[in-house]
Amino acid sequence: MSATPEKPDRPRVLLVDDYPDAREMYTEYLEFSGYEVIGAGNGLEALQRAVDASPDIILMDLSLPVMDGWEATRRLKADQRTASIPVVALTGHALAGISEGAKKAGCDAFVTKPCLPEDLVREIKRILDAPSTTRKPRRSGKYAKSS
Protein backbone atom coordinates (compact mmCIF):
# COMPACT_ATOMS: atom_id res chain seq x y z
CA MET A 1 0.00 0.00 0.00
CA SER A 2 2.92 2.26 0.69
CA ALA A 3 5.63 3.27 -1.67
CA THR A 4 7.96 3.86 1.19
CA PRO A 5 10.43 1.06 1.56
CA GLU A 6 10.30 -0.80 4.86
CA LYS A 7 13.05 0.02 7.28
CA PRO A 8 13.89 -2.47 10.00
CA ASP A 9 13.75 0.07 12.86
CA ARG A 10 10.47 1.67 11.98
CA PRO A 11 8.23 2.07 15.06
CA ARG A 12 5.05 -0.01 14.83
CA VAL A 13 1.75 1.83 15.40
CA LEU A 14 -1.59 0.09 16.07
CA LEU A 15 -4.29 2.42 14.76
CA VAL A 16 -7.80 1.66 16.05
CA ASP A 17 -10.60 3.60 14.32
CA ASP A 18 -13.98 2.44 13.03
CA TYR A 19 -14.14 5.14 10.33
CA PRO A 20 -12.24 3.53 7.42
CA ASP A 21 -11.47 6.84 5.66
CA ALA A 22 -9.86 8.26 8.77
CA ARG A 23 -7.97 5.00 9.37
CA GLU A 24 -6.73 5.00 5.83
CA MET A 25 -5.75 8.66 5.92
CA TYR A 26 -3.77 8.37 9.15
CA THR A 27 -2.19 5.08 7.96
CA GLU A 28 -1.05 6.72 4.77
CA TYR A 29 0.42 9.69 6.55
CA LEU A 30 2.03 7.64 9.31
CA GLU A 31 3.69 5.38 6.77
CA PHE A 32 4.72 8.49 4.88
CA SER A 33 6.22 9.76 8.09
CA GLY A 34 8.19 6.59 8.64
CA TYR A 35 5.99 4.38 10.81
CA GLU A 36 4.75 0.85 10.37
CA VAL A 37 0.97 0.82 10.84
CA ILE A 38 -1.37 -2.00 11.87
CA GLY A 39 -5.09 -1.20 11.76
CA ALA A 40 -8.08 -2.38 13.83
CA GLY A 41 -11.81 -1.46 13.38
CA ASN A 42 -13.07 -2.21 16.89
CA GLY A 43 -11.90 -2.79 20.46
CA LEU A 44 -11.91 -6.57 20.33
CA GLU A 45 -9.89 -6.62 17.18
CA ALA A 46 -7.51 -4.11 18.72
CA LEU A 47 -6.87 -6.44 21.68
CA GLN A 48 -6.07 -9.31 19.34
CA ARG A 49 -3.72 -7.19 17.21
CA ALA A 50 -1.97 -5.75 20.22
CA VAL A 51 -1.14 -9.25 21.49
CA ASP A 52 -0.20 -10.57 18.05
CA ALA A 53 1.89 -7.67 16.77
CA SER A 54 3.23 -6.06 19.98
CA PRO A 55 3.06 -2.48 18.64
CA ASP A 56 5.22 0.34 20.06
CA ILE A 57 2.19 2.58 20.47
CA ILE A 58 -1.58 2.27 20.14
CA LEU A 59 -3.81 5.08 18.76
CA MET A 60 -7.26 4.30 20.17
CA ASP A 61 -10.48 5.89 18.98
CA LEU A 62 -12.81 5.79 21.99
CA SER A 63 -16.18 5.37 20.28
CA LEU A 64 -15.94 1.96 18.67
CA PRO A 65 -18.40 -0.79 17.80
CA VAL A 66 -18.31 -4.24 19.44
CA MET A 67 -16.08 -3.05 22.29
CA ASP A 68 -15.44 0.60 22.97
CA GLY A 69 -12.04 2.20 23.39
CA TRP A 70 -12.31 2.61 27.18
CA GLU A 71 -12.97 -1.09 27.72
CA ALA A 72 -10.27 -2.08 25.24
CA THR A 73 -7.75 0.20 26.95
CA ARG A 74 -8.66 -1.20 30.37
CA ARG A 75 -8.11 -4.76 29.12
CA LEU A 76 -4.83 -3.83 27.42
CA LYS A 77 -3.57 -2.30 30.63
CA ALA A 78 -4.73 -5.30 32.65
CA ASP A 79 -2.91 -7.73 30.38
CA GLN A 80 0.77 -8.16 31.27
CA ARG A 81 1.69 -8.72 27.65
CA THR A 82 0.29 -5.35 26.55
CA ALA A 83 0.30 -3.28 29.74
CA SER A 84 3.49 -1.39 28.89
CA ILE A 85 2.35 -0.24 25.42
CA PRO A 86 1.45 3.50 25.54
CA VAL A 87 -2.15 4.18 24.48
CA VAL A 88 -3.13 7.54 22.90
CA ALA A 89 -6.85 8.16 23.09
CA LEU A 90 -8.38 9.70 19.96
CA THR A 91 -11.86 11.11 20.17
CA GLY A 92 -14.24 13.52 18.57
CA HIS A 93 -15.97 13.98 21.92
CA ALA A 94 -14.00 16.93 23.25
CA LEU A 95 -16.38 17.05 26.16
CA ALA A 96 -14.80 17.78 29.49
CA GLY A 97 -14.57 14.70 31.64
CA ILE A 98 -13.78 12.45 28.74
CA SER A 99 -10.06 13.03 29.07
CA GLU A 100 -10.39 12.18 32.78
CA GLY A 101 -12.25 8.97 31.93
CA ALA A 102 -9.63 8.08 29.37
CA LYS A 103 -6.81 8.60 31.87
CA LYS A 104 -8.67 6.49 34.37
CA ALA A 105 -9.02 3.70 31.82
CA GLY A 106 -5.23 3.77 31.44
CA CYS A 107 -4.62 6.01 28.42
CA ASP A 108 -1.22 7.70 28.41
CA ALA A 109 -2.23 10.66 26.22
CA PHE A 110 -5.33 12.21 24.79
CA VAL A 111 -5.85 13.73 21.33
CA THR A 112 -9.02 15.47 20.21
CA LYS A 113 -10.30 14.90 16.70
CA PRO A 114 -10.36 16.56 14.27
CA CYS A 115 -6.65 16.19 14.37
CA LEU A 116 -4.47 16.88 11.36
CA PRO A 117 -2.19 13.97 10.45
CA GLU A 118 0.90 16.02 11.16
CA ASP A 119 -0.38 16.92 14.66
CA LEU A 120 -0.98 13.27 15.39
CA VAL A 121 2.51 12.35 14.22
CA ARG A 122 3.96 15.08 16.47
CA GLU A 123 2.14 13.61 19.46
CA ILE A 124 3.35 10.07 18.66
CA LYS A 125 6.90 11.27 18.32
CA ARG A 126 6.67 13.09 21.63
CA ILE A 127 5.47 9.99 23.48
CA LEU A 128 7.93 7.57 21.88
CA ASP A 129 10.85 9.95 22.45
CA ALA A 130 10.00 10.48 26.09
CA PRO A 131 12.27 8.43 28.36
CA SER A 132 10.37 5.72 30.14
CA THR A 133 11.41 2.85 32.35
CA THR A 134 8.30 0.83 31.65
CA ARG A 135 8.61 1.12 27.87
CA LYS A 136 9.76 -1.94 26.00
CA PRO A 137 12.85 -1.50 23.81
CA ARG A 138 12.06 -0.75 20.19
CA ARG A 139 11.51 -3.82 18.28
CA SER A 140 12.57 -4.64 14.76
CA GLY A 141 9.82 -4.90 12.18
CA LYS A 142 9.92 -8.61 11.60
CA TYR A 143 6.13 -8.89 11.58
CA ALA A 144 4.42 -8.12 8.37
CA LYS A 145 1.53 -5.69 8.36
CA SER A 146 -1.66 -7.67 8.79
CA SER A 147 -3.87 -5.61 6.50
Partner 1 sequence: MPARAAALVAVAAPRRAAAKRNGSAAPYTGIPRVRVAVDTGAGDDAEMLAVRVRLLEGFVARAELSDCTQLALQWLAEVLGFTRSICLVRPEAEQSLFVVGSWGMTTSTVASYTVSLEDWNNPLVTAFNHRKELFFPAPHSAADRKRRPSTPFEDAAFHAVPLGVSGFSEDSFGILLVAGSEAIGADFHWFVSVFSQRIDQILRQQALTEGDRKQGRERSLLYSIINAVTDPILLTDTEGRLLIANARALTLFTASEEESEGRRGAVRMNNMLLSSALSSKAIEETGATRRELLLVNPVDGSDLVFELLSTVTEDPRQGSGVVSILRNVTDLRRASEEIEENYRKMRIAEVQARAESDRLNLIIDSVADPIVVTDAAGATSLMNEPAERLFTIPQRASEIEQRWVQANDAHFSSFIAGMLVSADQRRVGEIGLVDPKTGEAMPVEAIAGKILSEHGELTAVVTILHDRREAIEKALLYEQLKQASDELERKIQAATADIAQQNELLRRQAIELEQASALKSQFLANMSHEFRTPLNAMLGYTSMLLQGVAGDLEPPVKRQLGRIESNGRHLLTIINEILDISRIEAGRMPLQLSTFRIPELVGEVKAELEPIIMRSKLTITVDVPRDLKPITSDRQKVKQILLNLLSNALKFTHHGGVTIAARQHAKERTMTLSVTDTGIGIAPADQDRVFEDFRQLDNSPTRAYGGTGLGLSICRRLAQMLDGEITVQSQVGKGSTFMLALPVKGRK
For residue 40, the cross-strand partners are 16
**Under rule CB under 8 A, residue 101 binds partner 1:** no
How deeply is 142 buried, as exposed, middle or buried, from its count of CB atoms within 10 A (0-12, 13-18, 19+)? exposed
Question: Which SS3 state, helix, strand or coil, does residue 125 take?
Answer: helix
CA distance linking residue 69 with residue 73, whole number of Å: 6
Residue 95 is a binding residue for partner 1 (CB under 8 A): yes
21 vs 99: CA distance, rounded Å? 24
Q: Does residue 125 interact with partner 1 by CB under 8 A?
A: no
Q: Select 44 or 92, whichever has its Cβ closest to partner 1.
A: 92
Nearest to partner 1 of 79, 118 (CB atom): 118
Residue 5 near partner 1 by CB under 8 A? no
Q: How far is the CB of 9 from partner 1 (least distance, A)?
A: 22
Contact status: 113 vs partner 1 (CB under 8 A): yes
Total interface residues for partner 1 by CB under 8 A: 20
